[in-house]
Structure 1
Amino acid sequence: MRISQLEGRRVALWGWGREGRAAYHAIRSRLTQLPLTLFCSRDEAAEVAALADPALTTETEASTERLSAFDVVVKSPGISPYGNEASAAAARGTRFIGGTALWFGEHARSDGVVAGSICVTGTKGKSTTTALLAHLLRCGGHVTALAGNIGMPLLEVLDPKQSPEFWAIELSSYQTGDVAASGAHPQVAVVLNVFPEHLDWHGSHERYVEDKLRLLTHAAPAIAVLNSNDARLVAAGVAASRDAGTDVRWFGDRNGWHLREDALYRGDTWVMDTRSLPLPGRHNRGNLCAVLTAIEALGLDAVALAPHAADFQPLPHRLQTIGTRDGITYVNDSISTTPHASLAALDCFGDRRVALLVGGHDRGLPWEEFAEAMRMQAPAAVITMGQNGPRIHALLAAIASESGFHLSAAVDLADAMAQARAVLGEEGVVLLSPGAPSFGPYRDYVARGRHFAELAGFDPDMISAIAGIGVS
């Protein structure tokens, strides 16, 4: 859907976060007089009044009746379309879309393909993968936009001053369906992996997987770059190739880009040693294979660009080493919101003594697999915290007694860090990899990571910036 197609329709915005504000300004850039209704909080309504837009009204209750009064509701990604009000309004004919759908609609060619667009999604690793993709493309001399879920809504770069040759776009599971809803198709879609996550938004694990894979099953990308080691993606790739004629390229396969231990190979050709790359964790170095496969799919020389990964600046809050004080190294993996992510983080530290801080907002994700893994790969200590801390602690209690690792419960992050330091003494790693969202004590994972840095005695302003956002 193009913004111009909103003309003459009853249109509402739902949400006034960064995505909501971007949607408002984008619509106003095309349709200056279109009547708009904004559903937002009372505090936000006072802020919106300062815009002095006579064609914009605010309401603070998004009921089924009110949502049903509109033909199109442009909602922010964090608002689930599966909630009672949205579901009922959709059944009455209201169409719910996001800003991502409007951006794709604005940029589609006559054949529906958005030239130069590379969409990256996956349960873990998608932010680093998208940023690394943009970095390597820029190292090749290509003007590239880095945007999407990584921290800049696509509608904020609706009309950039400098026209990008490529768009490196991170998509969350909240946004993948929007690409399909736009009627447009990515040039390249990259899917890294699929694990259970965001069950509170999607409603079930099955729906999460279905929504995540909409980038393949409904958006019909020209080319798909998929993980050959993920059984769900193998099945989805076969179906996309058969049903939509998508050209599927595999990474992690010995015929393409893959790792052999720490060595990067293209087929049977050795390319480089990855041990010194600033990509924490083997899973991130494995995702370099996804990036290089996508670059090849664009018709570029991936072998020539691969060495530039050595100059990549790691993203904050993702296995980020903040520093060392009194023999203790502090690692901030605040973005970790699944048990799988916490396990992947642990893998990075080999035989080092680690105190792992886990727990946060309880979305109902299963922790049994994590608990079983502790029988073989337990750190020196596991300290639980947050809403789901007691549930994780209960699962680990018997295993800790058998395996001999320290297990304790903390009332908050400060308490957890104090306990971690007490267990480690004068040497080791305090690893914040919660495996759960931050909601409750913190606004988001960034606020949690910043507090972790502050409690460790470091300047939080020095660890929070993502390099390369926007067009360059």
Structure 2
Amino acid sequence: MSLPDRFSLLVLGQGTTGLDVVSWALRHRGDRVDSITVYGGGSSSPTEKTRSLEASGVEFVYGTELVQGSYDVCVASPGISEFSEFFGSARAASVQIMGEPEFTWRLSPQRWCGITGTNGKTTTTSLTQHLLRSSGMAASAVGNIGMTAISAVDSRSQGDWLVAELSSYQLATTCELHPRVSVLLNITPDHLAWHRSHDNYARAKISLFKNMDKDDLAIVDVEDDGINAYRDQIFVSGRRVLSVSFEDPGTADAAFVRDGVLTVRLADDETSLVSAGELKIFGHHNVINALAASAAALACGATAVGVREGLKVFAPLEHRVEPCGELDGVRYVNDSKATNTDAVLKALTAFPQDRVILLLGGHDKGTPLDEFAEQVAAQVGAVVCFGEARERFRHALEETEGASDIDIAVASDLCDAVDVARSLAGRGDVVLLSPACSSFDEFTGFEERGRRFKAYLQELREHAAEVEMD
């Protein structure tokens, strides 16, 4: 169902996404939009920003999740579950209800590349945009990466690709969204409170492909067990799928490593790119991310020369296996974005020859830890468990067979964990902050956690320099 030529608009949520939709609607009031109503949610209240928008003619309703009235189009913010009473109330009051990416796609459907997965979305989205720009193409990274798609739609240049990082929240309510190139990196249990079940979560991810056909390209990591559990819903008749794996999968469309060189095959036409050793992003998972991004960029029209040059210079993103320098001969790495166990295991592949002291902890997601603890114990030299989740992680590790060979320590908070890690580390070791938890016991988000980690390291360096001068 297309958007009406003119419509009354309901927006659910007054966070960044909701207010970005409102800003777009204000620019188009009178030509596309007749009225703009925002329901902020049960705990909402006026802010300086909403008061300013109210003065511009936007109606705000605070402190309730019972939507009243009738609307042509509703755009729901991603934090509002489709299973919530709030969403259901809005659905009943609206002719159409959708998320912001779906809304934006209907306004401007050309040249979309969609990227999703439990882990690796931001790196792969940023790298795909980078490879397109290295080829001289116009491309904007939008979606869950930071800038909403609706913020970019009015300024899109002719031929500009929107490379959209799409979360399960954003995909759950899509209907007509139809990227021409899409990437699914992995599926591991996450966000189960929002989706109610792992199956709902996985199906939301897979829905990225539902409108794609033989003229498009769906890119999937066939090494991933979570994806392979849904193969029959991904590899369907009439859809063109490219398989990503470290070994050549032997399909007409594939991305893999041959003799150490990243290689992409599109319709049996192969392009050799760069050696895995030339990448500045490390670990098996980042080789897979680079293969997926390269395949996506080439499918969008990037040149082989541009992709090669782009791969060589792309650096790790902040909080994603980000090198933070040395202190007393020990390397420190910030992987604060690793808020689930699968992300931690992927990060550890970046250090196959190193003794790693792993910092685990934060706000406990309640994820099962038995198998995770076994894999951690087999790969690290020591673990420091910190924050709210520290005792559950400590207990899981101590109960793991083989854990007697590693040091297991506890710390109250992040800075204390760094201090404990320093006492366990020797020259040449790696201290890896890859917490497997959200940060909300101590910080406002993984970004604040990662920056505090780096800031504390700098404080320690400065103190060491002062002592040396004395």
- Answer whether TM exceeds 0.5 for this pair: yes
Alpha-carbon offset, residue 297 of structure 1:
2.6
SS state of the match for residue 372, structure 2?
Answer: helix
- Are 2:146 and 1:151 equivalent residues in the alignment? yes
- Are 2:336 and 1:334 equivalent residues in the alignment? yes
* 8 A Cα contact 1:374 1:399, kept in partner: no
Alpha-carbon offset, residue 3 of structure 1:
6.1
Which residue does 2:466 correspond to in 1? none
Alpha-carbon offset, residue 352 of structure 1:
2.1
Scaled by the length of structure 2, the TM-score of the pair is: 0.86
Distance in 1 between residues matched to 2:292 and 2:10, nearest whole Å: 38
- Are 2:372 and 1:370 equivalent residues in the alignment? yes
Which residue does 2:415 correspond to in 1? 414
Greater alpha carbon shift after TM alignment, 21-30 vs 302-311:
302-311
Distance in 2 between residues matched to 1:321 and 1:337, nearest whole Å: 18
SS state of the match for residue 291, structure 1?
Answer: helix
Percentage of matched positions with identical amino acids: 31
Greater alpha carbon shift after TM alignment, 43-52 vs 368-377:
43-52
Corresponding residue to 1:229 among 197, 202, 223: 223
- Are 2:9 and 1:16 equivalent residues in the alignment? no
Which residue does 1:464 correspond to in 2? none
Stretches of structure 1 that go unaligned for 5 or more consecutive residues are 109-113, 460-472
Which residue does 2:277 correspond to in 1? 275
Which residue does 1:286 correspond to in 2? 288
Which residue does 2:468 correspond to in 1? none
Which residue does 1:106 correspond to in 2? 107
| Partner amino acid, structure 2, of 1:123 | T
SS state of the match for residue 13, structure 1?
Answer: strand
Deviations, residues 84-134 of structure 1 (Å, cap 9, x unaligned):
4434654677754221111101013xxxxx3x2111111111111111111
The aligned runs of 1:148-227 (5 Å cut-off) are 148-160=143-155, 162-178=157-173, 180-181=174-175, 183-217=176-210, 222-227=216-221
Deviations, residues 316-366 of structure 1 (Å, cap 9, x unaligned):
110001111222322111111110111111221123232211122223322
Distance in 2 between residues matched to 1:94 and 1:46, nearest whole Å: 31
Deviations, residues 193-213 of structure 1 (Å, cap 9, x unaligned):
111111222222221111111
Which residue does 1:249 correspond to in 2? 242
SS state of the match for residue 34, structure 1?
Answer: strand
Alpha-carbon offset, residue 451 of structure 1:
1.0
The aligned runs of 1:415-434 (5 Å cut-off) are 415-425=416-426, 427-434=428-435
| Partner amino acid, structure 1, of 2:285 | H
Greater alpha carbon shift after TM alignment, 71-80 vs 438-447:
71-80
Distance in 2 between residues matched to 1:120 and 1:101, nearest whole Å: 14
* 8 A Cα contact 1:36 1:55, kept in partner: no
Alpha-carbon offset, residue 274 of structure 1:
1.4
SS state of the match for residue 349, structure 1?
Answer: coil
Greater alpha carbon shift after TM alignment, 135-144 vs 397-406:
397-406
Distance in 2 between residues matched to 1:34 and 1:269, nearest whole Å: 51
Distance in 2 between residues matched to 1:270 and 1:95, nearest whole Å: 46
Alpha-carbon offset, residue 388 of structure 1:
2.8
Distance 1:363 1:189, change over 3 A: same
RMSD between aligned residues: 2.9
Distance 1:453 1:42, change over 3 A: same
* 8 A Cα contact 2:222 2:228, kept in partner: yes
Which residue does 1:50 correspond to in 2? 52
Distance 1:68 1:430, change over 3 A: farther
Distance 1:299 1:427, change over 3 A: closer
Distance 1:266 1:90, change over 3 A: closer
Stretches of structure 2 that go unaligned for 5 or more consecutive residues are 461-470
Alpha-carbon offset, residue 47 of structure 1:
3.4
Alpha-carbon offset, residue 400 of structure 1:
7.5
Alpha-carbon offset, residue 50 of structure 1:
2.7
Scaled by the length of structure 1, the TM-score of the pair is: 0.85
SS state of the match for residue 213, structure 1?
Answer: helix
Distance 1:61 1:218, change over 3 A: farther
Greater alpha carbon shift after TM alignment, 189-198 vs 24-33:
24-33
The aligned runs of 1:2-81 (5 Å cut-off) are 4=4, 7=7, 9=8, 11-31=9-29, 34-39=35-40, 41-42=43-44, 44-53=46-55, 55-63=57-65, 65-66=66-67, 72-81=73-82
Deviations, residues 163-217 of structure 1 (Å, cap 9, x unaligned):
4432211111111234x33x23111111111111112222222211111111123
Deviations, residues 364-408 of structure 1 (Å, cap 9, x unaligned):
32222211213422x121111233332222111133874321112
Distance 1:292 1:375, change over 3 A: same
Distance in 2 between residues matched to 1:50 and 1:193, nearest whole Å: 42
Alpha-carbon offset, residue 270 of structure 1:
5.7
Distance in 2 between residues matched to 1:363 and 1:325, nearest whole Å: 31
* 8 A Cα contact 1:12 1:39, kept in partner: no
Distance 1:99 1:166, change over 3 A: same
Distance in 2 between residues matched to 1:67 and 1:188, nearest whole Å: 39
| Partner amino acid, structure 2, of 1:277 | L
Greater alpha carbon shift after TM alignment, 363-372 vs 31-40:
31-40
Alpha-carbon offset, residue 454 of structure 1:
1.1
| Partner amino acid, structure 1, of 2:118 | T
Greater alpha carbon shift after TM alignment, 413-422 vs 92-101:
92-101
* 8 A Cα contact 2:361 2:390, kept in partner: yes
Alpha-carbon offset, residue 140 of structure 1:
1.0
Greater alpha carbon shift after TM alignment, 261-270 vs 345-354:
261-270
Which residue does 1:470 correspond to in 2? none
Corresponding residue to 1:352 among 345, 351, 354: 354
Distance in 2 between residues matched to 1:210 and 1:436, nearest whole Å: 24
